[in-house]
Amino acid sequence: MRCQVCNCLESRVIDSRPTEEGNCIRRRRECTRCGRRFTTYEKVEQLPLMVIKRDGSREPFEPQKIRAGILHACGKLPVSAQQMQEIADRVEQAAYNSGDAEISSQRIGDMVMAELKQVNDVAYVRFAAVYRKFTDLTTFMSELQKLVEENQTNPAADDKQGE
């Protein structure tokens, strides 16, 4: 790191600590030539992630769209803001951890649905109705029937809904 006073390229780290958000490291440095102290921040560089939409078009990944969809699906349901944020964070992290430069909107939607299904069945159905674009009652009822059958084979799934 170049000293802003004498342009020396050598400095030593005096102190390192994570920032409050935990997404970067704050370092106090001292120039080895002039002794001037300065602060630097290190942050992991994330490559831009592109989303492949249903129509084949591509756009930059926008985590706030996931948050908005989750918020809409969970509206007026007993799902806390913290739970919604955790779901969004897990989906965002999974998208970046895929290791690919591109991810399909379908894959993102499937990840959100899997997360919502674990938290609240109604939120899951609301999200699925928009995401899967249910066009008629038969398709919607088919999805509900699958959910009912899963809950009958796994009665513990009903217990999580009242939390």
Residues 88-131 have pLDDT tens digits of: 999 999 998 888 899 999 999 999 999 999 999 999 999 988 88
Does 160 have pLDDT greater than 60?
no
My answer on whether 24 and 64 are in the same domain is no
Amino acid at 136: D
The band of 140, judged by pLDDT with boundaries at 50, 70 and 90, is: confident
**What pLDDT was estimated at residue 21?**
74
Which of residues 162 and 134 earns the better pLDDT score?
134
**What pLDDT was estimated at residue 109?**
95
My answer on whether 144 and 94 are in the same domain is yes
My answer on whether 33 and 92 are in the same domain is no
Percent of the chain with pLDDT over 70: 94
Q: With 0.75 as the threshold, say if the pTM is over it.
A: no
In a domain, residue 39? The reply is yes
Please state, in angstroms and rounded to a whole number, the distance separating the CA atoms of residues 117 and 85: 15
The band of 1, judged by pLDDT with boundaries at 50, 70 and 90, is: confident
Q: What is the Cα 124 distance to its own chain's centre?
A: 17
In a domain, residue 88? The reply is yes
The band of 151, judged by pLDDT with boundaries at 50, 70 and 90, is: confident
The pLDDT mean for the chain works out to: 89
119 close to 83: Cβ distance less than 8 angstroms = yes
Number of domains in the chain: 2
Mean pLDDT to the nearest integer, 64-91: 96
Structural domain of 28: 11-43
Lowest mean pLDDT among 18-27, 33-42, 91-100, 108-117: 18-27
**What pLDDT was estimated at residue 59?**
96
My answer on whether 77 and 135 are in the same domain is yes
My answer on whether 84 and 147 are in the same domain is yes
Beta strands in 6-126 (DSSP E): 11-18, 24-31, 37-43, 50-52, 58-60, 102-104
**What pLDDT was estimated at residue 157?**
52
My answer on whether 135 and 75 are in the same domain is yes
**What pLDDT was estimated at residue 130?**
87
Strand order in the sheet with 37-43: 11-18, 24-31, 37-43
My answer on whether 15 and 67 are in the same domain is no
The tokens describing 152, both together, are 């009958």
